[in-house]
Amino acid sequence: MKKYLLSLVLSLLFIPVTVWGQNTAAKGLSSRLDTLIKYQLPVGSNVGISIYDLTDGKSLYTYQADKLSRPASTMKLLTTITALSHPDADDPFKTEVWYQGVIEQDTLKGDLYVVGGYDPEFDDEALDSLVNAVSRFPFSVISGHVYGDVSMKDSIYWGSGWAWDDTPASYQPYLSPLMLNKGLVTVTASPGERGHLASLDCVPASSYYTVTNETKSRTPAAGRFGVSRDWLQNGNNIVVKGNVEGKRTGMVNIYSSRDFFMHTFLERLQAKGIQCPVNYAFNELQKDSLSVQIALFETAIQDVINQIMKESDNLNAEALLCRLGAQATGKKHISDEDGLSVIRKQIKALGEDPDYYKLADGCGLSNYNYISPNLLIAFLKFAYSRTDVFQKLYKALPIGGVDGTLKYRMKRGTPSYKNVHAKTGSFTAINCLAGYLRTTNGHEIAFAIMNQNVLSGAKARAFQDAVCDEVIRGR
């Protein structure tokens, strides 16, 4: 009887102690995060935070979690997760070459088509691969036309709300289903003798653009090194200027991407000894019995996702949005809105109201996007619940202190080092971070931090890193 009473007393004591301990632990984390907001949130700014324990299936902390905010590049999470959940997600991006006509002796009596599939990773080597495949066919003369087929997407080459004066920045390409080197030219400058011009190497090589060299080697008075072009006139004269003390690299976008692709393609065909028309045109391939595919270049979806997440690549995200629209609607000709409508359907499927949010593009470059931390968490939870989606996404996310856009954050020795896998998002006055982390007790956490109206990106990033550190330390 005494043993029974002792057991009963101990059991009654154990339950409240355990519950009290759990409650105290939860309050401990909340209190620490409240303190961070009070003392480390940059003055004049605001923030929305949502933190969810995926292991226990419950919310750990929220602060203005339904507050609408501009997501910057965390918008890429919505685009990528929606695209990866589509049944055709693993299909590669394709760029194809077809001819329409007949080959007689050494002549293609017909037309050549390059059909764009919006491959954002199609680079200089890919173009050479395509040209080499064409050159192996038994003709060296094209008697008809050479066409670029860019009918997959409408002719609107920028996203809604993109800033016109961000051109010629490399992060704002001219969008097209035919993109060469992301519509960019990379200029590498190597110094010569002091006061002399630096030597320049441009990739991809093409006569589509010209180069003006205004550099000076090892001459600080020449000013800061820079690469631009006569963009106000939509010109393609690349101007390289400033001091070149050591090897320097700059990138500039080219107007327009589809013409850059086709001009260079035609030029390289001619360099292979293929006689073809001096000029190209744009036309849609209407396949018939005389249509033959002669070349194909493919890019795996994981390669595209890696660039979206690790390097926050805007072109890759827009290409993925465009392809998502094509896959979901089955339409041959699509616009950004077709892809955005699929994301809205995904929002509704997650139990959220799509009308509460504003979606303007797939990459977050637009100032018109407005979403919330809770919406980001909903997408992150959904991705975590789908092994096929999560594996691709998690593999691509930047790792704290290791790579991508988190390479120089969350240094070795901090709790967040290697424990945070997340997407960054930033432009003027906006700084966001959303993804996954693992706590010291092994729990998997989804989190979203959306800093707004903060002109110091360094302070916003320091705040976000501190939040992650506290969550990882746990209770």
Read off the pLDDT of each residue in 441-445 and give the average, rounded to a whole number.
96
Read off the pLDDT of each residue in 148-159 and give the average, rounded to a whole number.
94
- pLDDT score at 267: 97
Residues 222 and 360 in one domain: no
- pLDDT score at 474: 85
pLDDT over threshold 90, residue 67: yes
> Is 10 within a domain?
no
Domain that holds residue 223: 93-299
- pLDDT score at 7: 46
pLDDT grade for 475, boundaries at 50, 70 and 90: confident
Residues 235 and 110 in one domain: yes
Residues 448 and 397 in one domain: yes
Q: Into how many domains does the chain fold?
A: 2
Instruction: Report the distance separating Cα 312 and Cα 322, nearest Å.
Output: 17
Read off the pLDDT of each residue in 251-255 and give the average, rounded to a whole number.
96
Decide: 235 and 255 in contact? Cβ < 8 Å.
Answer: yes
pLDDT grade for 27, boundaries at 50, 70 and 90: low
Residues 459 and 384 in one domain: yes
Give ∠ CA 30-433-26 in degrees, rounded to 5: 15
In this structure, what CATH number is given to the domain that contains residue 348?
3.40.710.10
pLDDT over threshold 90, residue 279: yes
Q: Which of 277, 299, 321 is the last residue of a domain?
A: 299
Q: Which of 299, 323, 356 is the last residue of a domain?
A: 299
> Is 3 within a domain?
no
Q: Which residue has the higher pLDDT, 381 or 165?
A: 381
Residues 315 and 444 in one domain: yes
> Is 4 within a domain?
no
Residues 258 and 320 in one domain: no
Read off the pLDDT of each residue in 107-121 and give the average, rounded to a whole number.
97
pLDDT over threshold 50, residue 6: no
pLDDT over threshold 80, residue 204: yes
Average pLDDT over the chain, rounded to whole?
Answer: 93
Give ∠ CA 6-11-15 in degrees, rounded to 5: 150
Residues 99 and 153 in one domain: yes
Q: Which of 245, 276, 299 is the last residue of a domain?
A: 299
Residues 368 and 468 in one domain: yes
Spatial CB neighbours of 418, under 8 Å, sequence gap ≥ 6: 399, 400, 401, 402
pLDDT grade for 13, boundaries at 50, 70 and 90: very low
Residue-wise pLDDT for 361-412, tens only, equals 999 999 999 999 999 999 999 999 999 999 999 999 999 999 999 999 999 9
Instruction: Report the distance separating Cα 359 and Cα 396, nearest Å.
Output: 23
Instruction: Report the distance separating Cα 272 and Cα 450, nearest Å.
Output: 52
Residue-wise pLDDT for 311-349, tens only, equals 999 999 999 999 999 999 999 999 999 999 999 999 999
Read off the pLDDT of each residue in 55-79 and give the average, rounded to a whole number.
97
pLDDT grade for 21, boundaries at 50, 70 and 90: very low
